[in-house]
Amino acid sequence: MTSTPVANAAMHHYWNEVSGPRWVRVQDVIDRQIAPLGERALAAAQLSPGERVLDVGCGCGQTTLRAAAHVGEAGEVLGIDLSAPMLARARERAREMGVTNVRFEQADAQTASLPQHFDVLFSRFGVMFFDAPEAAFTNLRRALRSGGRLAFVCWQALTRNPWMLVPLTAVAPLVPLPAPPPPGAPGPFGFADAARVTRILEEAGFVDVGVESVEETLLVGPPDVNDAARFLVAMGPAAAALADAALTPEKQSQVEQAVRQAIEPYLTPDGVRMPSASWIVTALSPQE
């Protein structure tokens, strides 16, 4: 499989050098947090034994491995991602679990030359980072057989996601944060506008586009509230700005304390539970 390295260069750098290595370190915590949303998207994908699935932006592979269990030994799942460290973790997990019907490839979903035989395209939060989403989804649609299915989950707007908004609001008075990106810019909230997502998919040649709102309370970060605050500082939407700010240890501890106070109202016996809102998006490749 080949892909042109020119597209999505900033994301290639970000997911290989900045966020990917951090993500690998806390992969188990992230997986626990967003697993319920991946399961909702997998249910929407309606996988059957024997099917061939492409997991787009598969990261450390949790959903790739779950999809592999759904399609069984007669089926196969290919996970593609920009991030070498995340793919290394995904391959390691497949080996540890003895799963043989998955493969992982480093590729840019927007430009990769993909086999054109998949029954299903799937993604958990891996399709909002393309610099040219219409081109990316056109490329992906070509990898689907006639009548094949698309199912993915993406975040709604930041204001609809207290689990990210609350820590960000707590940090804002302490550290200068960059202006929010323009609507639709590549990033976690790039697909917040459901009408725009529908238009992108239709322009890419998909039909029967459906968008369902899912509001789910997520178990955020590790169970201990102090650890959860540290997790949100390291991985939340302010993480890049905080890393760039090179905080003194005293300021770092002020930031963590502010986030801890902000999330404390959400503490339950199981850990911090906070509301989230995402879209489950489904579509079909036209029948030829």
Q: How many residues bind ligand SAM (CB under 6 A)?
A: 23
Taking CB under 6 A as the criterion, which residues in 203-262 touch ligand SAM?
A: none
Taking CB under 6 A as the criterion, which residues in 61-80 touch ligand SAM?
A: 62-63, 80
Report residue 229 as tokens: 């605050």
Q: Which is nearer to ligand SAM, 15 or 279 (CB)?
A: 15
Interface with ligand SAM (CB under 6 A), residue from 42, 47, 66, 83: 83
Which range in 93-101, 121-129, 154-162, 243-251 contacts ligand SAM by CB under 6 A? 121-129
Which range in 118-126, 144-152, 210-218, 226-234 contacts ligand SAM by CB under 6 A? 118-126
Q: Which is nearer to ligand SAM, 36 or 72 (CB)?
A: 36
Q: Does 94 bind ligand SAM (CB under 6 A)?
A: no
Taking CB under 6 A as the criterion, which residues in 2-61 touch ligand SAM?
A: 8, 11, 15, 34, 57-60
Q: Does 122 bind ligand SAM (CB under 6 A)?
A: no
Interface with ligand SAM (CB under 6 A), residue from 33, 110, 139, 156: 110
Could you write out the DSSP letters of every residue in the chain? ----TTTTHHHHHIIIIIHHHHHHHTHHHHHHHHHHHHHHHHHHHT--TT-EEEEET-TTSHHHHHHHHHH-TTSEEEEEES-HHHHHHHHHHHHHHT--SEEEEE--TTT----S-EEEEEEES-SS--SSHHHHHHHHHHTEEEEEEEEEEEE--GGG-HHHHHHHHHHTTTS--PPPPPTT-SSTTTT--HHHHHHHHHHTT-EEEEEEEEEEEEEESSSSHHHHHHHHHHHSTTHHHHHHTT--HHHHHHHHHHHHHHHGGGEETTEEEEEEEEEEEEEEPPP-
Region label for 224, one of left (φ > 0), alpha (ψ between -120 and 50) or beta (otherwise): beta
Which range in 43-51, 105-113, 177-185, 257-265 contacts ligand SAM by CB under 6 A? 105-113
Which range in 104-112, 200-208, 235-243, 259-267 contacts ligand SAM by CB under 6 A? 104-112
Contact call for residues 125 and 153 (beta carbons, < 8 A): yes
Q: Does 81 bind ligand SAM (CB under 6 A)?
A: yes
Contact call for residues 260 and 196 (beta carbons, < 8 A): no
Taking CB under 6 A as the criterion, which residues in 127-156 touch ligand SAM?
A: 129-130
Q: Does 82 bind ligand SAM (CB under 6 A)?
A: yes
Which range in 124-132, 141-149, 239-247, 259-267 contacts ligand SAM by CB under 6 A? 124-132
Q: Which is nearer to ligand SAM, 131 or 257 (CB)?
A: 131
- Measured distance CA(144)–CA(153) in Å, rounded: 18
Q: Does 266 bind ligand SAM (CB under 6 A)?
A: no
- Binding residues for ligand SAM, per CB under 6 A? 8, 11, 15, 34, 57-60, 62-63, 80-83, 86, 108-110, 124-126, 129-130
